[in-house]
Structure formats: structure tokens, C-alpha cells
Amino acid sequence: MPSIANLLPLRRPRGLAARAVIFSTGLLVVTALLSAATIVFGADRESERAQIHVTSELTAHLATVSANLMTTGDIRELQRVTDIAASRREVRRLVVRDEQGKLVAASGGSASDVRAADQLSARVLSSGQPGYLRTADDGLALAAPISHNGSRIGVAVMMWNGDAYRFNALPALAPFALILLCLTMAAVPITARVVRNAIAPLGKLAQFAEQVGEGQAPPPVDVHTGDEFETLATAFGNMTSRLDASMRRIQEIAFVDPATQLPNNDRFAREVDFF
């Protein structure tokens, strides 16, 4: 009759270390990617806020210069200032209008830039408050009222490229990516060694169970890890002790008469003599 060990063969654990390494590495990579996405999103929002702040300050400065030149009637100088400012790479269009919306000075820009600047200037002239808008072609237009002695006399509009005064967070993530790569390369062998050491008692327990299943009497498993493995090893030892005691009792019952406490062969001999 085949033994239990042959019907249900026990095998030492295989693949646990590899799965643990894959899980730990995957968790590290996912955490890093989420962190990088959070950093990029936060950096983009902060870059956008800083861009609006800087370009608003420059537009307000244009409004101040325009107020001084408009009150002195030096429109030629105002046009020259707008031409110089519009010659900068990041500036797409500059517009200065009076309170009635009449064009005083303008420079640069495509047809779509002209429409966007006119739309924003009309809105600011109507509300009296600074404003901005982003266009579909990655443009940023800002408008500020032109005031003199507390009275509004016009509006100044500056239209910028979408990347003006913005910083790109991706190059800043290059050191982070390098650190992540180094951590991943270090985490794989370290995790593999730690996991192998952690599951080493499981291999001892599997070998012990195989030997017991084959009818051997192996020594108790010596596991002192202070965790579930030690508890399991103790349970295995107690189980085998009880199994040994049960087997001895079965053997005693098989070869000793419980009533006479004599071996069954002696009892058989007595019965023969009686007859």
C-alpha cells in the first residue's frame, strides 16, 4: 500500500523569494512613479502660479510706463517702448488702448494674438480689474488698467508664449530617477537575501514532514525565530511526540492482551494447553 508521503508528496517551498522580490520591487517602482507624478503635478501648478505672478508684474510695469507717456502725450516714445518689448522672444504682442478703447500703440502678434488681446482688453476696460486668458495655441495674455492720479485712462495688454517664465520639472527629476534606479538595483539582492533567510525554517519544516511521512524518526526541528515558524516547529514536535505515543500504544494493544497483560502468543499457548 502506498504511503501517505507517496500519495501526497511534500516539496520544499520554491518561488517565494522570487515573488517577494518582484512584489517589493514593483511596490518600490509604483511608489516612485506616484511620487514623481505628484512632484510633476505640484511643480507644474507652482510654475503656472509663478508665471502668472511674474508676467502680471511686468504687465503692471508696462501700464505704469504707458500712463506716464500717455499723460505727457509722447505717443511716439510709447510706440518705441512697445516695439522694443515685443522684440523679446517670449513676448508675442503688446497693446495699449485708451479709456474709449482706441488703439494708442501696438506691436507684434499673429491674427489670433490680435483677437485674443482685443478680447482681453475689452473685458478689462469693462470690469476695471486686471485679467488674463490662455489661448488654444499656448499663449498667455495679461491686461492691467492704466491709471493716472486715481483715474483710469486706458489698458495695457501683454501676450506671452506659454513657456515664458515657467520651469520644466522633468529635467529636475533626472537625479530622482537615477536614485530610484540605484535603489531598485540594491533592493533586489537585499530583498532576496532577507526573504531567503526568513523562509529558511520553512524548508526545515518541509524536510521534517517528509521524513515523518516516510516513517523515519527525525530529530525535532530546531527553530528559534520567535515568530510563527517557531510556533509551527513546536506544534510539529508535539504532533510527532503524540503520534509516537499513539503508535506505541497501538503496538501494545496488538501484542499484549489488555485483560491479562500477557503477550498474545502466551495467551494462545495457554488456550491450547487447556484444550
Asked whether 47 and 167 are in contact (CB, 8 A), the reply is yes
Would residue 128 be called left, alpha or beta, if left means φ above 0 and alpha means ψ between -120 and 50 degrees?
left
* Local confidence band at 6 (pLDDT 50, 70, 90 cut-offs): very low
Residue whose grid cell is 522672444: 89
> Higher confidence at residue 34 or residue 254?
34
Cα-Cα-Cα-Cα dihedral sign, residues 243, 246, 248, 250: negative
**Joined grid coordinates for residue 102:** 482706441
* 204-232 average pLDDT score: 72
pTM for the full model?
0.60
* 180-209 average pLDDT score: 77
* Local confidence band at 241 (pLDDT 50, 70, 90 cut-offs): confident
DSSP string of the chain, one letter each residue: ---HHHHS------SHHHHHHHHHHHHHHHHHHHHHHHHHHHHHHHHHHHHHHHHHHHHHHHHHHHHHHHHHT-HHHHHHHHHHHHTSTTEEEEEEEETT--EEEEE---HHHHHHHHHHHHHHHHH-S-EEEE-TTSEEEEEEEEEETTEEEEEEEEEEETTTT---HHHHTHHHHHHHHHHHHHHHHHHHHHHHHHHHHHHHHHHHHHHHHTT--PPPP----SSHHHHHHHHHHHHHHHHHHHHHHHHHHHHB-TTT-SBHHHHHHHHHHH-
> Higher confidence at residue 18 or residue 255?
18
Q: What is the pLDDT of residues 124-172, one digit of tens each?
A: 999 999 999 999 988 999 999 999 988 999 999 999 998 888 877 777 7
Q: What is the pLDDT of residue 155?
A: 95
* Local confidence band at 5 (pLDDT 50, 70, 90 cut-offs): very low
On the question of pLDDT at 219 being above 90, the answer is: no
Would residue 173 be called left, alpha or beta, if left means φ above 0 and alpha means ψ between -120 and 50 degrees?
alpha
Q: What is the pLDDT of residue 162?
A: 87
